[in-house]
Amino acid sequence: MARTNAAQTRQKPLDSTLLTLRVRERRRLSPSFARVTLGGEELSRFAPLGRDQWFRLFLPVAEGTLSRLPKQLDTFAYLRYLAIAKTERPVLRNYTVAGFRPTGEDGPELDVDFVIHGSAADGTAGPAATWAETCEPGDAVAILDEGILFTPAGGVTGPFALVGDETALPAISGILASLPAGATGTALIEVPEAGDVRDLVAPAGVDVRWVVRGVADATPGVAVRDAARDDTAVEGVAAVPAYAWVAGEQALVAAMRRHWVRAGVDKRAISFTGYWRASRGH
């Protein structure tokens, strides 16, 4: 199963060094999303690139454990990270920039959106979701910028096709806000509940559509996959995108990549990333 072609499509940051930041605030955005805003002196060294800019997020497991992290994360540094005892190794997850403000009230601010599955209170949430629900202002985290994956050829203004489940919502939001005013295409986003639908900034020529899963035990990504396939089947050649982007559950990503290739999209014009894998129970 194809997981990602990031090695071929990624635009790396000019400088990627570990930044230690502090929680400014946390709040619940909707039934399935929480937002944590980060700040701190070192955030002034962060270079916002827009689009689907992503970063490594390190969450401490105890006081002082962030100090053991390498300043950069090449292969050897990652192996050293893995060699840290689990009781002292910070939790590592990948996230997308949900918002960046260079001039917040107390300096630059970086928003990170977390999908909340389960509950921190009863222990059913994962470590990142639990942290997002329980962190307090002043808590320390670290990030390592990894650049962007949405890299269409210069001058391409569409049609674009963006497809993702709820984990891809921050990335799709960033891409839409970064597109030129004359861009065309579609964006299909699957979310667990109707309350998760939000207003997004997008060019007038990009049709943004929401697919509400609604059923708690439905496999994430299936509904948006079917909706995206139907677009091409109904509209035919006109629906074949000049550049396609998909992220989220791995089965969704693999299915959309195969679908677009069969529809005639150049493989070099497809960016795909599997963020996670659904359990066999789905």
pLDDT 10s digits, 144-182: 999 999 999 999 999 999 999 999 999 999 999 999 999
- 30 Cβ contact partners less than 8 Å away, ≥ 6 residues apart: 193, 195, 196, 198
* pLDDT score of 12: 87
Q: Rounded mean pLDDT of 202-226?
A: 94
Average pLDDT over residues 192-217: 95
Question: What is residue 244's predicted lDDT score, i.e. its pLDDT?
Answer: 97
b/e burial code for range 39-51 (CB count within 10 A of at least 16 → b):
bbebbeebeebeb
Q: Say what the pLDDT of residue 152 is.
A: 95
Domain boundaries, the chain: 6-147, 160-276
User: What is the pLDDT, as a whole number, of residue 236?
Assistant: 46
Determine the pLDDT at residue 33.
Answer: 97
Arithmetic mean of pLDDT over the chain = 91
Q: What is the pTM of this model?
A: 0.92
Query: Is it the case that residue 125 has pLDDT exceeding 50?
Result: yes
- Residue 255 vs residue 214, higher pLDDT: 255
Confidence of residue 215 (pLDDT cuts 50, 70, 90): confident
Cα 79 to Cα 66: distance, rounded to the nearest angstrom: 16
CA distances from 196 to 30, 107, 131, 166 (A): 5, 29, 20, 9
Cα 263 to chain centroid distance, Å, stands at 26
Residue 1: its pLDDT value, please?
44
DSSP 8-state secondary structure symbol assigned to residue 96: E
Using a CB cutoff of 8 Å and minimum separation of 24, what contacts does 63-70 make? 65/89, 65/90, 66/20, 66/90, 66/140, 66/141, 66/142, 69/18, 69/142, 70/18
**Average pLDDT value for residue range 7-24:** 86
- Could you report the per-residue pLDDT of 54-104, keeping only the tens digit for each? 999 999 998 889 998 988 888 899 999 999 999 999 999 999 999 999 998
Q: Which residues of 169-182 are buried (b: 16+ CB within 10 A; e: fewer)?
A: bbbbbbbbebbeee
Q: Which CATH superfamily is domain 6-147 in?
A: Translation factors (2.40.30.10)
pLDDT of residue 217: 84
- Using the predicted structure, report yes or no on whether residue 282 has a pLDDT greater than 70: no
Please provide the DSSP assignment of 210-270 as one string: EEE---TTSPTTHHHHHHHHHHHHHHGGGG--SEEEEEEEHHHHHHHHHHHHHHT--GGGE
| Contact yes or no for 228/163 (Cβ under 8 A) | yes
Which pLDDT score is estimated for 7? 60
Q: Which fold has domain 160-276?
A: Rossmann fold (3.40.50)
- Phi then psi dihedrals of residue 181, to 5 deg: -60, -30
The Cα 57–Cα 17 span in angstroms is: 12
pLDDT at 237: 46
Note the pLDDT of residue 10: 76
